A = this chain, B = another copy of it.
Amino acid sequence: MSSSQFSSTPTSLVDNLLAGNRRALARTITLVENDGAEAHDALAALYRRTGQAHIVGVTGSPGTGKSTLVNALAKAYRQRGYTVGIVAVDPTSPFTGGALLGDRVRMRDLSGDPGIFIRSMATRGSLGGLAQATADVILALDAAGFQRILVETVGVGQAEVDIASTAHSTVVVEAPGMGDEVQAIKAGVLEIADILAVNKADREGADKTVTALHMVLGSGGPSLRQVQHHGRLMEAGLPAQSRDESWTPPIIKTVALRDQGVAELLEAIEQHRDYLQTSGELQRREEDRARTALIHILQAAVLRRLQENVPAQQLQQLVADVASRELDPYSVAEHLLPAVLSAS
């Protein structure tokens, strides 16, 4: 199949975005968040201009100070002349103001710098919508020429793990005194860590946390990412190639509030980037990202067709019949499939 089979219509919006127009970028992101057909055309047109940015996932439990760390990292990158996009993903609490508060702090610190673009992602539906929307926003920032894209997620959940695992380099942030160490590590996302940051390292217990992390990493830690990720793709019927596991995640102590250790963290990220490029691992991760994107886009298309092709009232009646146990959802899904699948 040749690429000419797929034609897309670049709009002036896309041209303006590619020319570095901030408002065109913001408008494109809004399009993406509204998820219409227009967004898909724009994303398809932008896609081939992507692949330049290095995407850094930063994830960790609440209270580890990862927002502050992301800000400090962004400033450090700016000092070295890199442009930086920040995507803050907070899927759980769109209403308690968390994301907005973080934004306000960021705006004070980083606003007015044209080399920085910040976007918060709120909840976007439960069905993989957030992961896909985040991937799309990253894509727009990449096409707009931002060289480093920092994606901040609240760790622990599967959705966050998925989002973080689409990054090129994943930084897992821990902090001392977050309760029982074993629990923190169990719940953590060590499996996906390329780099570990122990933030708030001026607090009591920092060395204990570092030691605990070393122990977990030493006891077969590095191969876990491979196994888990592989398992997930297998389940989706899309086995990934196995990964080269010669990278050992470094553990870096930081105090983000005082910019301590931030330069070392930046250095570790850049070293990981070099490693990905020279080892061929980058190619493998890009293929994983492509697989995930394909699946998400297909699933979204199915939901859209359900909406378009099945009258709301009919759907409501079927739902009521399932709820009352008159029908079972498996048979109803089978019954709906032809309607979902027919072209609209």
Contact = CB atoms under 8 A, between A and B. Distances in A.
Most B Cβ at <10 Å: residue of A191, A216, A320, A328? A328
A78 to B, nearest CB: 27
B50 A325 contact: yes
A333 B93 contact: no
A130 B158 contact: yes
A303 to B, nearest CB: 6
What range describes how many residues of A lie at the interface?
Answer: 35 or more
A92 to B, nearest CB: 6
A317 B238 CA distance: 12
B340 A92 contact: no
Contacts of A212: none
Nearest to A39: B330
B303 A237 contact: yes
B157 A123 contact: no
A246 interface: no
A100 to B, nearest CB: 11
A173 interface: no
Interface string A184-195: 111111110000
A337 interface: yes
Interface string A30-57: 0000000000100110011011000000
A290 B98 CA distance: 31
Contacts of A160: 156-158
A13 B179 CA distance: 45
Contacts of A283: 323
A8 B334 CA distance: 12
A interface secondary structure, majority: helix
A180 to B, nearest CB: 5
Interface in A81-131: 91-98, 123-130
Contacts of A341: 341-342
Contacts of A155: 156
A202 interface: no
A65 to B, nearest CB: 9
A263 interface: no
A126 to B, nearest CB: 5
A158 B303 contact: no
Nearest to A332: B294
A295 interface: yes
B298 A8 contact: no
A91 B158 contact: yes
Nearest to A101: B186
Contact of A157 (B158, B179, B319, B333): B158
14 contacts: A3-B326, A47-B328, A95-B228, A96-B224, A123-B232, A126-B158, A126-B161, A126-B236, A126-B292, A290-B323, A298-B333, A298-B337, A301-B337, A341-B341
Given A157-B159, A301-B333, 12 more contacts: A1-B321, A5-B335, A47-B329, A61-B62, A63-B179, A92-B156, A92-B189, A96-B191, A126-B158, A157-B160, A287-B323, A297-B333
